[in-house]
Chains A and B, each alone.
Chain A
Amino acid sequence: MSWLHFMEIPDRIGLWWIPGSGTAEVASLRPRRPHARRASADPFAFAGGFAGREGEHSIADAIGATWNRYWFTPAEAWQLAIVRILAGCLALALWWSYFNDLEAWFGPAGIISRELLSGWRSPWAVSLFDLVSAPASLRAAWFVGAIVLAMLTAGLATPVVSVLAAILFSSLLHRGPMLAGPADDVVAVMLWCLAIGRSGDALSVDRLLAARAGRPAPSPTVRTRVALGLLQVHAAVIATVAAVAQLKGDVWWDGTAAWWLATRSGSRVVDLTGLLAQSEYLTNLVTHAIPLWELLFAAGIWFVPLRRLLIPAALVAWPLIGIIAGEPAWGLALAALSTAFLRLTGRVG
């Protein structure tokens, strides 16, 4: 069986997995309804139909089948590798933003002392950066983190560094929670998801070295599928919660939110005040488009026909919203998170 041929199998598994049968062999997952094969070749397509929908099995079986298909269809590593590279680059940029002020914030006479933190953060919060405060050790810890993130981005020793990257990144955020922003939150989630999956099985130095050593390309894994599923769920949850939070404010209903965002002289990336001042309708349009996009993305991404439009749109829309909001890293992080919905197949390595 060739590799590319094999890559067609998981989609079929997704469509015709019978939950509770106790069989987990590929051979036992044969089609029940031949037309369903044409309906969808996607492990998370609700629109594709699932086994027993027409009375052959109970609704519980159908839900179980969808659940199994979504979470347990082995997935190849391409998608996760792309998320790894993008998340690694973003994490490095965010990590870099601490470098010049490490001592001012976390040093022995820094602003954010451990005494201050005790009254600020949750009692459950822990940080490896609590262990260091001397300027030299702070910088050393920072450099270790930067190297780990660079290794993650390149895909070197990925199984180890993906876990280390998530631990170090969340440690740094816990060291100064009042400095953390929305981009940090999204990147932290992405790093933890990467720690679950096997993102180093593609587009990585690890894979390159394995190929040179003559080792076979790794097979699709359920771990990777679970990681992708978690990334996808988080993308939808974050978009939904953002829209709901915005719709609690009057400025998102009266259409002036875009104006208030544009007037943040320090945070803004481009000055849109001149443009928005000229047209109230344009201000209203930009304002309403943001939560509308978020809701459309959160709901529409689960439907195959819409998803084909929404994924490329997400790669443009999220960064644009980030620029308008004065949080470009947040926009880029959400665009990177959206790449978890890409469907890619091919030879790994």
Chain B
Amino acid sequence: MPKKPSSTEPPIATPPAETVRAAVTVMLGLYFVGLALAVSGNSASGASALVRTIHTRLFSPWMTPPWLDLGYEMKLTYGLPDDADHRIEVRRQRSPATARPLVLPADGMWGERARRWRRLARAAVIAEQDPDREALLPAAIGAGLFDDVGGDDLAIRILRDVRPDRAEVAAAGETPLRSEQAYAARVRRVDGELQLIKNEPQEELAPVIREPAP
């Protein structure tokens, strides 16, 4: 006599019908085209006009909201200054040189929280090369830190590690920690209006040309 199945046995799974498989196949195919275009369209190397157009017009509208329109380009490092660790340093504009600035990430911060502050600092420096985004983030950082620093006139610096050469460290026996200034600006609020005055390195300033007096 055949054994009667118990009530706790799982129901038998049936493979999907042909139409379901066809529909799922179309959706998967569409997604994989989108994935390929997202990877190639978000590449740091740039994308062709064809890829860019198809990607932005047909795929970005539905791949961006779920955070799937990504390049996944994890280069880790190219050994460039931009790849070094960045940090934000803020102080009141006329504070004495001995006053301790607010540094972000602060000493006590670690892990992913500190990494997010470093990404913010790095994004501010990289955005300086983009005319549409230039100065936006440093101004926002300044405005967001007025209360924390206690003033409406702040000096902001974004510092990055100067990375030592391997041979230099091998010779010295220790790793020197040095920083360089990647960006500096004065951010102030005057009559409710936010102003940013970028500190240009002197060599980048154009000479002042004065009209001869009549």
Contacts and interface: CB of A to CB of B under 8 A. Distances in A.
B74 interface: yes
A192 B7 CA distance: 33
B77 A249 contact: yes
A238 B72 contact: yes
Question: Looking at chain A's contact residues, is the secondary structure mostly helix, strand, loop, or mixed?
Answer: helix
Interface stretch (B93-101, B163-171, B205-213): B163-171
Nearest to A280: B166
A348 B43 CA distance: 42
Interface string A192-220: 10000000000000000000001111111
Contact of B7 (A25, A100, A125, A216): A216
A92 to B, nearest CB: 11
B66 interface: yes
B76 A241 contact: no
A248 B75 contact: yes
B113 interface: yes
Interface residues on A, range: 35 or more
B10 A126 contact: no
Nearest to A243: B74
Contacts of B84: 263-264
B67 A126 contact: no
A282 to B, nearest CB: 11
B14 to A, nearest CB: 7
Which residue, B16, B71, B77, B169, has most C-beta atoms of chain A within 10 A? B77
A62 B120 CA distance: 50
A222 B44 contact: no
B67 A220 contact: no
A263 B105 CA distance: 18
A178 B137 contact: yes
Contact of B13 (A216, A221, A233, A329): A221
Interface string B14-33: 11111001001100100010
Contact of B24 (A94, A101, A219, A226): A226
A110 B144 contact: yes
Nearest to B177: A265
Which residue, B8, B79, B105, B140, has most C-beta atoms of chain A within 10 A? B79
Given A72-B15, A174-B67, A6 B79 contact: no
B143 A124 contact: no
B17 to A, nearest CB: 6
Contacts of A111: 120, 140-141, 143-145
A265 to B, nearest CB: 6
Contacts of B136: 116, 119-120
B78 A330 contact: no
Interface string B33-72: 0010001000111000000000000001110111111111
Interface in B104-143: 105, 111-120, 123, 132-133, 136-137, 140-141, 143
A189 B63 CA distance: 11
B11 interface: yes
Contact of A26 (B15, B118, B132): B15
A67 interface: yes
B8 A122 contact: no
Given A111-B141, A216-B9, A185 B67 contact: yes
Nearest to A113: B140
Contact of B8 (A216, A267, A274, A329): A216
A263 B119 CA distance: 17
Contact of A241 (B21, B39, B117, B164): B39
Which residue, A94, A185, A276, has most C-beta atoms of chain B within 10 A? A185
Closest 3 A/B residue pairs (Cβ): A111-B144, A97-B112, A170-B67
Given A25-B14, A188-B67, A245-B44, 15 more contacts: A1-B5, A3-B10, A101-B113, A116-B140, A179-B120, A185-B67, A216-B10, A242-B74, A249-B78, A249-B79, A263-B161, A265-B85, A266-B85, A276-B166, A277-B169
Interface of A: 1-3, 6, 10, 13, 17, 20, 22, 24-26, 29, 67-68, 71-74, 93-94, 97-98, 100-101, 104-105, 109-113, 116, 119-120, 122, 124-126, 166-167, 169-170, 173-174, 176, 178-185, 188-189, 192, 214-222, 226, 233-234, 237-238, 241-242, 245-246, 248-251, 256-257, 259-261, 263-267, 271, 273-274, 276-278, 280, 283, 290, 325, 327, 329-330, 348
